[in-house]
């Protein structure tokens, strides 16, 4: 942690968010306290799981100005940066759709088990998107790995059968999966940054535009766009882009005030956090708090929570310079995609083996279930640290 220009709180919040995502995803919600999980689609309220993913979307937006500043400083052209944005977006969409369909595999029709299909898929993902060291010296070997990954992808898509009346023999995009949603949000925010650059005002207008789309969608006033919603629904519905763009606004404010103006950042973020919370409760008169329905009131509430949570982390880690407390999430913060995918590989391996590794999930004691899932999440962060040490880490 020697880089004095680095905003450590971004990595810390990203790491903590990934840790919480692993935790809530692992919980047996038949036993765990209801407030830790997702609320029902038609229920007006939020649980912990309902605010974790939008927190990650928020931090995706926050990181964009810092990541793109490096690209501009080293002279990357607009064409090169645009290609990077599109490539990263397509990568997230592809992995998201593959993950979404992994649980739809019909073993009898496909010819092998869902677990084997998923494990081969993850093997191909890691082969294709791994950040290989010494790329210049290993061009042909790395190209061989990527070609092998493509062959596996083609084989899996060709063999895929769901046994369901709709799309029995083909993959579905559905809701695009978590990574797909991140991809769509990143696409909108990244190109918004390229157009608006360092203008906080113009970026705020863009964020408000997608909030407006979210409101219009919630009022069912955009149904004339239904023909394109299977492809562009995430953008049209506005919720995901709004959250990522709000994070982008926060990132611009932070970038322009981080050096020696900590007080202004804290006051501004606290004010924006309170404002978003108030606006969310105001819109609750017309839209319930619902993650499943992606309501604008829920989006604003989550942005408010993200502003305030980041402010606290920023004050501790970047103002007070107390960073050692968060060292345990450093691998997750720096390698979020690897940390998110690695547990799925283990889930399918465990399911295939039949070994009761996840025995705590069967407990009727809520404390055992919660503690077990938290230990699992921490172990997955440790697994990421181990994988990185042996040069296994994903980079899109």
Residues 348-390: tens digit of each pLDDT: 999 888 888 899 999 999 999 999 999 999 999 999 999 999 9
Residue 394 is assigned to a structural domain of this protein: no
At 3 the pLDDT is 47
Residue 69 is assigned to a structural domain of this protein: yes
Residue 133 is assigned to a structural domain of this protein: no
At 4 the pLDDT is 45
Supply the mean pLDDT for the chain. 93
At 2 the pLDDT is 41
Q: How many CB atoms lie within 10 A of CB 81?
A: 17
12-22 confidence digits (pLDDT tens):
999 999 999 99
Residue 1: pLDDT over 60: no
At 149 the pLDDT is 97
pLDDT interval class at 33 (50, 70, 90): very high
Distance CA 300, CA 306 (A): 10
Q: In the Cβ-directed half-sphere of 30, how many Cα atoms lie within 13 Å?
A: 5
Residue 123 is assigned to a structural domain of this protein: no
238-291 confidence digits (pLDDT tens):
999 999 999 999 999 999 987 778 899 999 999 999 999 999 999 999 999 999
At 342 the pLDDT is 93
Domain that residue 327 falls in: 8-104+172-389
At 42 the pLDDT is 85
64-74 confidence digits (pLDDT tens):
999 999 999 88
Residue 236 is assigned to a structural domain of this protein: yes
Residue 3 is assigned to a structural domain of this protein: no
Cα dihedral across residues 99, 101, 104, 109: positive or negative: negative
At 364 the pLDDT is 94
At 260 the pLDDT is 74
117-128 confidence digits (pLDDT tens):
999 999 999 999
Residue 146 is assigned to a structural domain of this protein: no
Residue 295 is assigned to a structural domain of this protein: yes
Mean pLDDT for the stretch of residues 201-218? 97
pLDDT interval class at 5 (50, 70, 90): low
At 181 the pLDDT is 97
Q: How many CB atoms lie within 10 A of CB 316?
A: 17
pLDDT interval class at 130 (50, 70, 90): very high
Q: How many separate domains does the chain show? A: 1
Give percent of the chain above pLDDT 70: 98
At 136 the pLDDT is 81
Mean pLDDT for the stretch of residues 54-62? 97
């Amino acid at each position: 942690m020697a880089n004095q220009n680095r905003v450590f709180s971004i990595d810390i919040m990203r790491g903590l968010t990934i840790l919480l995502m692993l935790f809530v995803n692992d919980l047996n919600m038949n036993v765990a306290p209801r407030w830790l999980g997702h609320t029902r689609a038609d229920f007006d309220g939020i649980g912990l799981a309902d605010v974790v993913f939008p927190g990650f979307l928020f931090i995706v937006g926050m990181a964009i100005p810092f990541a793109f500043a490096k690209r501009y400083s080293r002279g990357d052209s607009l064409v090169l940066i645009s290609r990077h944005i599109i490539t990263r977006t397509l990568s997230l969409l592809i992995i998201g759709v593959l993950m979404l369909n992994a649980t739809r595999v019909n073993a009898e029709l496909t010819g092998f088990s869902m677990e084997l299909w998923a494990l081969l898929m993850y093997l191909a993902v890691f082969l294709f998107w791994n950040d290989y060291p010494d790329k210049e010296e290993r061009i042909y070997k790395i190209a061989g790995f990527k070609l092998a990954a493509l062959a596996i992808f083609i084989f899996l898509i060709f063999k895929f059968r769901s046994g369901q009346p709709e799309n029995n023999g083909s993959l579905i995009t559905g809701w695009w999966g978590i990574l797909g949603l991140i991809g769509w949000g990143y696409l909108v925010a990244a190109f918004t940054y390229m157009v608006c650059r360092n203008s906080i005002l113009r970026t705020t207008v863009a964020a408000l535009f997608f909030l407006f789309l979210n409101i219009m969608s919630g009022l069912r006033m955009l149904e004339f766009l239904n023909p394109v919603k299977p492809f562009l629904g995430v953008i049209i519905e506005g919720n995901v882009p709004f959250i990522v763009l709000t994070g982008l606004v926060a990132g611009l404010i932070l970038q322009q005030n981080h050096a020696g103006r900590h007080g202004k950042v804290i006051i501004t973020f606290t004010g924006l956090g309170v404002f978003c919370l108030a606006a969310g409760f105001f819109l609750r008169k017309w839209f319930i708090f619902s993650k499943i329905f992606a309501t604008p009131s829920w989006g604003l509430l989550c942005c408010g929570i993200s502003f305030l949570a980041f402010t606290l982390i920023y004050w501790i880690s970047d103002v007070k310079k107390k960073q050692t407390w968060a060292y345990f999430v450093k691998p997750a913060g720096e390698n979020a995609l690897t940390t998110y995918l690695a547990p799925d590989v283990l889930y399918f391996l465990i399911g295939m083996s039949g070994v009761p590794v996840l025995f705590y999930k069967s407990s009727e004691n809520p404390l055992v279930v919660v503690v077990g899932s938290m230990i699992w999440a921490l172990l997955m962060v440790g697994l990421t640290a181990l994988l990185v040490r042996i040069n296994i880490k994903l980079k899109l």
